[in-house]
Structure 1
């Protein structure tokens, strides 16, 4: 879509601006530019992420009660749905509230994915740390390992508090997702994998404080 292409180009422009910022302070680095841009994007989307996490946590805490209703009214689906709707209303929980923030964020996340995948780096500055080129895969496989590890930590943190079928699904995802992300990171441009790792670290810290705040308010 043309609108999405504009968004991708906008993200590439932001990468360039972030790089120009590193030039202004005397340390031109595309790697640092990607890190700065990642933190900026996550900070802008933080209110949506907070809403999504709180909704997800509320649904996890309702799992035992939902299981009770499912067992009690397993032969009466209409009554079960009515009782669940009443429970959501009583507790002020919207089961769809966690989906909307994610849907809003997705175009931005996909856009930065494509922006970094085809970004025209200046060859003089495309190296970063041990990486010879941010536009190519990590030849030492360090970034794929870090991407898998950060995804595993995120999955473990997200699954805390889940029970029943949700806990079983989360357990599967905790194994599958890190392996999948680590595998595809083997061939992804290093700049894109850095974005993923920094994004995971940011969200891990963000979720830590959100969960801590929710526990304090109980």
Structure 2
């Protein structure tokens, strides 16, 4: 965040709160000399106008990571439907969520598949834990050996317990990139409205509702929090033995991010984008978990070596032994 952006964030809330108070907005004050400010005397209104103009110019020419024109990307989506204030800006957030979700769809599918595989293995892990648990104390007697047995089970079925983290980590750069794009377009989002987000509703609620999509909207943050909580509760847990812990962790993350949004001046367009993303993610998750799971197939035998995919199986699921080949003697001709 550059100094111009910091100055805008520091001044903008004060300017909005006192917009109808000329005693504050029109009072002159001196500012120290600076290369970006030609004047030495400003009012709150004129300084806000000066900083806004500089930030808009800086944002329109800024390249994220020196490569990606974030402002122009969002602007292209807005102009795709004619830059209509009551539709185009919110629809751009919807399109962006749809595009990004489509790009990470395969990664999310792998993550959901991993979760289902871990759920299928959970009963076997529970059996191993029962064998190593002391009946008197309820604690695992030999944690090192227990972990080795569990890892051996994962290897036997060709499952990496950490592979579910990789798709989630890869999605983080997408999140940061979209955030930067939205912040670069923040001033232009002030031209857009969405349902209840409009100047009239903002004035009636004393700023609780944002006047436009470039400002922070508290009601939208509440909706975002609700979407996060619903998504967390609908997500099947990978380990049925730790349902409570996994649910609590998911709810903690949802509540933490929601509370943080109340104290950070995020454009409501970005929060709207995240609500759309949660909806798409929930739809994909429900679809993935309603499909029949692929059967677990052992990749490695307990004695070592790879089990061929077409090997005949015995009743316990392991490759069956067919015995030694029998030599058949040809019948003698009479």
Q: Does 1:56 align with 2:115?
A: yes
Secondary structure of residue in 2 paired with 1:22: coil
Is residue 5 of structure 1 aligned with residue 5 of structure 2? no
Which residue of the partner structure matches residue 125 of structure 2? Answer: 66
Give 1:192 shift.
1.2
Q: 1:211 aligns to what? A: 289
Secondary structure of the corresponding residue to residue 80 of structure 2: helix
Matched, 1:142 2:219: yes
- Whether contact under 8 Å (1:35, 1:198) holds in the other structure is yes
Question: Does residue 1:98 correspond to 2:164, yes or no?
Answer: yes
8 Å CA contact retained: 2:98, 2:280? yes
Of residues 264, 270, 281, the one that matches 1:192 is 270
Q: 1:184 to 1:163 in 2, by over 3 A?
A: same
Instruction: Tell me, in whole angstroms, the C-alpha distance in 1 between the residues paired with 2:142 and 2:190.
Output: 68
Q: Say if 2:212 is the partner of 1:133.
A: yes
1:23 counterpart (66, 77, 82): 82
| Distance in 2 of aligned mates of 1:78 and 1:4 | 47
Equivalent of 2:255 in 176, 179, 193: 179
Within 2, Cα distance between the matches of 1:190 and 1:12?
Answer: 16
1:95-120 C-alpha deviation (Å, 9 max, x unpaired): 12111212222111111123213424
Name the CA shift for 1:49/1:12 in 2 (closer, same or farther; >3 Å).
Answer: farther
2:148 maps to what in 1? 82
Deviations 1:42-89 (A, max 9, x none): 011100110011112322332333233234343334432332232113
Q: Which residue of 1 aligns with 2:235?
A: 158
Equivalenced residue count is 211
Match of 1:41 in 2: 100
Q: Which has the larger radius of gyration?
A: 2
- Work out the CA distance in 2 between the residues paired with 1:155 and 1:31: 25
Gaps of 5+ in 2: 1-62, 133-139, 198-210, 296-334
